[in-house]
Amino acid sequence: MSTLVIEDLHVHYGETHAVKGVSLRVENGELCVFLGPSGCGKTSTLRTVAGLVRPSSGRILIDDRVVNNLYPGERDIAMVFQSYALYPHMTVREHFAFPLRAGKMPEPEIAKKIESIAELLQMHPLVDRYPRELSAGQAQRVAIGRALIRTPKLWLLDEPLNNLDARLQVETRAVLKHIQRESGITSIYVTHNQEEAQSLADQIVIMDSGLIQQIGTPQEVYDEPTNLFVAGFVGTPPMNFIPCTLSRANGQIVLRHETFGLELEPELVQRVAAADGHAVMLGIRPEDVDLRPVHGGDPASDRMHPRGTVYVIEPQGNEQIVSLQVTLDVLWKVRREANSAAVPLESGQPVELTLRQHRLRLFDANTEQRLL
Amino acid sequence: MTNVRQSRRLWLWYLPVLAVTCSFAGPFLWMLMTTLKTRVDTFAVPPKFIFEPTVANYEAVLNSEFMRSLGNSVIVALISTVFSITLGTLTAYGFSRYKFRRSDNVLFWILSLRMLPAVAVMVPFFLIFTSLKLLDTHTALIIVYSVFNISFAVWLLKGFFDEIPIELEEAAMVDGYGPWHVFRKVSLPMVVPGIATTAVFCLIQSMNEFLLAFVLTTRNATTGPVALSKFQSAVGVNWGEISAAAAMLVIPIAIFTIIVRNQLIRGMSFGRLR
């Protein structure tokens, strides 16, 4: 039960500047996910919180107390490692007892605790096994149990689901979230899997090249990405992009591309301050595009809506993902319901794309910051 | 069909295995046989494989000065091994986990001690121990053997420590343990197979050493190998007694190896951690 505050954290590994000024606050009981590609500094930040890496500068506060100079063992934290880090010479029972014995808890009490954690994780028949006798999923549960048996102030998870197969990942994800909610332990969860982040997080911290790109709820980072990186990183399939220029004429703003010229709706016009000829990146989510098959064609130049040809259709049960060749080097993905009412499509078919304008996102092509 | 062929091929594999085994075990078995032969049988041509065994050789050795030397060997070898393993383990762990400037050079310097031929240091050692008044004592031999064994132990054990995933130690740190307890409760138990292997090597090395023991001892601290050489006398070589003495020199090593055999096997399958 505690809060974590990170203030202007920098981490260097020799010449490499891995974390370049990270500041954030994790509230009591919150599950905060660090999301980003590999090498973005998310794991370094987590390891610094754990005390396994020394920061070059900046402060880490747990419950308003600076812990920079405390040993990992003195910070009252628990961690689940990607590799699980189980001790090959200890049984499951000994793993559970290990953190408790560090705190010199009396043995009868330890036995009671082991009983209840084995109950929670359904590990009763396995408590006398060694790690080599466990499946990946069971080993994962031991790692979780070892971390939680002590009820730490902070629970740190470093890509804990990476070594599990897809089905087990989804299953364990739910278990983790349930346990976190039940125990109310403030948690930090590191992952590069944005789907995992979306489904677990109260708050997502998106990082890239050692910097925080955006902090927000899963919905916020999905709907209102602050820059091109976040927009492209969050969501599967990712947001579709196409480079355009803005031009203003007669109080109208037109998004101009070689193959189309999209007129912005009036309420959007007021929100775009950028000037004539400004280079922008148009972004739109796969579910915010409507498809209409077209036959033959009007001259290419005067189209209002972008067009494309169906490249491939991937059925996903109740929906389908349609890949579209929009220009030679731009491939878009569109999410579409797979019900019978929808017009059937086939590969090679030309289609017109109607973009839902209030879901349209514009990014400055140079600064990559969001304009609209 | 395939089964027959497979079993035939498997059988063929045993031929080289058998050849290697014989070339190693052959001389040893020959020695054991000699311990039970009379002087006449020992030199019989063609060699006798079936003969009337005698325990006379063992009786002679058991009642000779050799037993004292054997005792010396065991004392020196055990103490030097324990000493080397203790220091070697701590040093190896330090080198494995804490890198400092030029640590690789220091490590190589330690190994270079092991490369030193005994002849090269024989005279200096003799002079040093003369001035320390330690000639012909267990202490002198323990010190000398430890110099060689520690460097060997450091190198072998560093390899075992290097194989321990660092996350295991990190997990223990996070779980509330300080550096000493991380070493004691996580790292050390995991290198026990390595320690067993290293100990066997150190023990064999110390039990076998001849040259330095020959130079540094005269009477009180004479070790087994030195005593063995004294079975050659003016009246000739008594091979039966030498063999019996050599066989008894093997016993301490055999006992130790049997005690730690489970660890040795685990040492061979080391690295299967998850």
- pLDDT recorded at residue A328: 83
Q: Which one, of B224, B215, B225, B201, lies nearest residue B119 by Cα?
A: B215
Placement of tokens 């489904």 in the chain? A199
Q: How does strand A154-158 pair with strand A77-80?
A: parallel
| Paired residues of A320 in beta bridges | A315, A336
Distance CA B206, CA A54 (A): 45
Alpha carbon of B181: minimum distance to chain A alpha carbons (Å) = 9
Q: Give phi and psi for A4, each to the nearest 5.
A: -120, 130
Per-residue model confidence (pLDDT) at position A297: 58
From chain A, the residues in CB contact with B195 under 8 A are: none
Give all strands (DSSP E) within chain A, no chain letters.
4-13, 16-26, 31-35, 57-62, 65-66, 77-80, 154-158, 186-191, 203-208, 211-216, 240-249, 252-257, 260-263, 278-284, 289-293, 307-315, 319-327, 330-337, 350-355, 361-364
Instruction: Select from B167, B175, B266 the residue whose CB has the most chain A CBs within 10 Å, as the one to mutate to test that interface.
Output: B175
Q: ∠A286-A291-A293 over CA atoms, to 5°?
A: 150
- Taking alpha carbons only, the member of A180, A192, A179 closest to residue A28 is A180
Residues of B in contact with A87 (CB under 8 A): 168, 171-172, 186, 189-190
Helix (H) or strand (E) holding B236: strand B236-237
Residue ranges per structural domain of chain A = 4-233, 240-364
Q: How far is it, in rounded angstroms, from Cα B12 to Cα A99? A: 54
Q: Residue A302 — pLDDT band, cuts 50, 70, 90?
A: low
Residue ranges of chain A whose CB lies within 8 Å of a chain B CB:
50-52, 71-74, 77-79, 81, 83-89, 98-99, 102-103, 131-132, 139, 146, 150, 156
Q: Rounded distance, CA A15 to CA B240, Å?
A: 70
Q: What is the dihedral of CA A128, A134, A137, A139, to 10 degrees?
A: 60
B167 to A86: CB separation less than 8 angstroms, yes or no: no
Q: Which residue from A73, A131, A139 is facing B173, i.e. has the nearest CB?
A: A73
Asked if residue A160 lies in contact with residue A142, where contact means CB atoms within 8 angstroms, the answer is no
Please check the confidence at residue A137 and state whether its pLDDT lies above 70: yes
Mutate to test the interface with A, among B174, B183, B184, B270 (most CBs of A within 10 A): B174
Cα B232 to Cα B217: distance, rounded to the nearest angstrom: 18
- Contact B177/A73, CB-based, under 8 Å? yes
More confident residue, A17 or B56: A17
The encoded tokens of residue A192 equal 């590069």
How far is B193 from chain A, CA to nearest CA, in Å? Answer: 12
- Looking at domain A240-364, its CATH superfamily turns out to be Nucleic acid-binding proteins (2.40.50.140)
CB contact under 8 A, B170 and A71: no
Chain B residues closer than 8 Å to A51 by CB: 173-174
Residue A58 is predicted with a pLDDT of 93
Give this prediction's pTM.
0.81
- Chain B residues inside the 8 Å CB shell of A132: 272, 274
Which residue on chain B is closest to A139 by alpha carbon?
A: B274
- The first and second tokens of residue B128, run together, are 């040093």
pLDDT at A19 over 60: yes
**Mean predicted confidence (pLDDT) in A309-322:** 89
Note the residue count of chain A: 372
Nearest to A74 by CA among B189, B168, B179: B179
Residue B84 half-sphere exposure, CB side, CA atoms within 13 Å? 36
Q: How far is A160 from chain B (nearest CA, A)?
A: 13
Whether A78 sits inside 8 A of B174 (CB atoms) is yes
To the nearest whole percent, how much of chain A has pLDDT over 90? 49
Rounded distance, CA B219 to CA B223, Å?
9
Please report which confidence band the pLDDT of residue A285 belongs to, taking 50, 70 and 90 as the band edges: very high
- Classify residue A71 by burial, with Cβ atoms within 10 Å: 0-12, 13-18, 19+: middle
Per-10-residue mean pLDDT, chain B, length 274 = 66 88 90 85 80 83 87 93 95 89 87 84 90 89 91 91 91 91 92 91 90 87 86 77 89 91 71 42
Q: What is the pLDDT of residue A276?
A: 67
- Say which DSSP state B37 is in: S
* Interchain CB contacts (distance < 8 Å): A and B: 69
**What is the spatial distance between Cα A100 and Cα A109, in angstroms, rounded to a whole number?**
9
Which of B170, B175, B190 has the CB atom closest to A102's CB atom?
A: B175
Residue B232 has which token pair? Answer: 């050659």
Contact B174 A72 (CB under 8 A): yes
Domain residue limits, chain B: 57-272
Q: Do A83 and B167 touch (CB under 8 A)?
A: yes
Q: What are phi and psi of A35, to 5 degrees?
A: -120, 140
Which residues of B are less than 8 Å from A81 in CB distance? 167, 170-171
CA distance B178 to chain A (A): 7
* Host H or E run for residue B237: strand B236-237
Fold of A4-233: Rossmann fold (3.40.50)
Whole-angstrom distance, CA of residue B114 vs CA of residue A1: 56
Tell me, what's the pLDDT at A165?
Answer: 87
Instruction: Sort out which chain B residues have CB atoms less than 8 A from A130's CB and list them.
Output: none
- Please list the residues that pair with A355 across neighbouring strands: A289
Q: Pairing mode, if any, of strands A361-364 and A278-284?
A: antiparallel
Among A46, A54, A79, A95, most B C-beta atoms within 10 A, so best to mutate, is A79
Q: Which CATH number fits domain B57-272: 1.20.58.1610, 3.30.530.20, 1.10.3720.10, 3.40.50.720?
A: 1.10.3720.10
Residue B273 is predicted with a pLDDT of 43
| Phi and psi, residue A350, nearest 5° | -75, 140
| Paired strand residues for A353 | A291
Among B168, B178, B272, beta carbon nearest to A85: B168
pLDDT at A255: 87
Number of H helices, E strands in chain B: 15, 2
Greatest C-alpha distance within chain A: 83
Among the residue ranges A200-214, A225-239, A259-273, the one predicted with the least confidence is A259-273
